[in-house]
Every structure is written in C-alpha cells, then in structure tokens.
A = this chain, B = another copy of it.
Amino acid sequence: MAPERKPVDRRKQVLEASARSFATFGYKATTMDQVAKIAGVGKGTIYTFFANKEELFGEIMSGMIRELKELADRTVRPEVPFVDNLMEVLHRLLDYREQHALAAKLSQEVRDLGTPMAKEGLETLERAVVAYIARHVKDAMDRGEIKPCDPNLTAYIMLKTYLALTAESRHLHRPLSKEEVLDYFRTYWMEGLAVR
C-alpha cells in the first residue's frame, strides 16, 4: 500500500496551483484555464479529480481549516492553563502568512466584488475557527479556569478582537507588532482592564 510511483502526482499539482491562484487573484479571477496552465496540466484533467470549480475551492478551504486545526492541536498542551495555550497558538498563528494570504484576499474580494463563493468560504472558515475556540473555552470553563460564559459567543468575540488587532487596526492605527497583539490580547481577555 506504498504511495504509487507515479511520474507526477497531477492531483497535487492542481491543488497547489489553484491554492496559489486563489490566494493571489481571489475566487472569481482564478480561471480554470489558468489553473491548468500553472499546474502544467490539460484543463480536462482537473475535472477527473474535482467535479467543478466550487469543489476545487472547497478542497482548498477545508485543507486550510485542517492545517490550522493541526497547528493548534500540535501546540495545545492539556496540562497547561487555557490562557497560556491560547497565547501560544496565537503566537504561532501570527507567523502563518500563507493561510492569512488566502483569507485576506478572500476578505478583500468580498469587500470589493461581493463574490458569493468567497463570502461562503470565509463564513465556513469563521464557523470552524469559532467552533474550535469554543470547544477549548468550554473545557477551560469546566475545569474552572475561567468564568462561566457562553462558549460560542465568547469564541466569536475573541476572534473579532484578534481580527481587529491584526487586520483592521491599520485604519485607525499603525499595524501592531506581534508582541503588542499578544500583550493587548492578554490584558483585554484575561486580566481585564480594572485595577484591583
């Protein structure tokens, strides 16, 4: 059951070519002709692996979600407090420019073009991230590490804070350094602003 010694793995070629194209040009501006060209493959070949453009895009998105999940799972250590895990995952996440590139491009595409498929993809990603965070929030809550709260809502607001600190802060602010993002996140979310 060893991986076949194919001369070239065309499926992988298509996957990589489309991933780069989606991240660079967005969903709409990525054409199947272009993907075939970049992959060095005939257009028909794409359709032996993926039913259509939508499915190909879905594959890229779920691949991204899977990688994020693996990154987080690799980082989280159950014996360590929730806060520290959260910070460490955030820390590593901030280095992953690749994933961010696709998400950022799709986000821009939704703003500028309103492409429905890009919107849907981002919503799926958001739901996955929120669900993942919510699970850990719930665990921490059950262990009595953090106060009672609605895990989903809390996860949602956490994500919004993260995005505001990284992507959007540029509007009112200079972009923040990685250390500043972590610092603010810890202050806002764990310790609270009130002096005690």
The B-contacting residues of A in range 143-190, CB under 8 angstroms, are 144-147, 149-150, 152-154, 156-157, 160-161, 164-165, 168-169, 172-173, 176, 184, 187-190
List, in ascending order, chain B residues with CB within 8 A of A147's CB.
Answer: 187, 191, 193-195
CA distance A158 to B102 in the complex (A): 28
Closest to A126 in B: B172
A192, B191: Cβ atoms under 8 Å?
A: yes
Q: Does A83 have its Cβ within 8 Å of any Cβ on chain B? A: yes
A146, B190: Cβ atoms under 8 Å?
A: no
Contact with B along A120-133 (1 / 0, CB 8 A): 00000001001000
Closest to A145 in B: B195
B184, A156: Cβ atoms under 8 Å?
A: no
In whole Å, how far is A134's beta carbon from the nearest beta carbon of chain B? 10
In whole Å, how far is A194's beta carbon from the nearest beta carbon of chain B? 5
A190, B188: Cβ atoms under 8 Å?
A: no
List, in ascending order, chain B residues with CB within 8 A of A130's CB.
Answer: 172
A184, B146: Cβ atoms under 8 Å?
A: no
A194, B193: Cβ atoms under 8 Å?
A: no
B189, A173: Cβ atoms under 8 Å?
A: no
CA distance A173 to B192 in the complex (A): 24
A193, B184: Cβ atoms under 8 Å?
A: no
CA distance A191 to B188 in the complex (A): 9
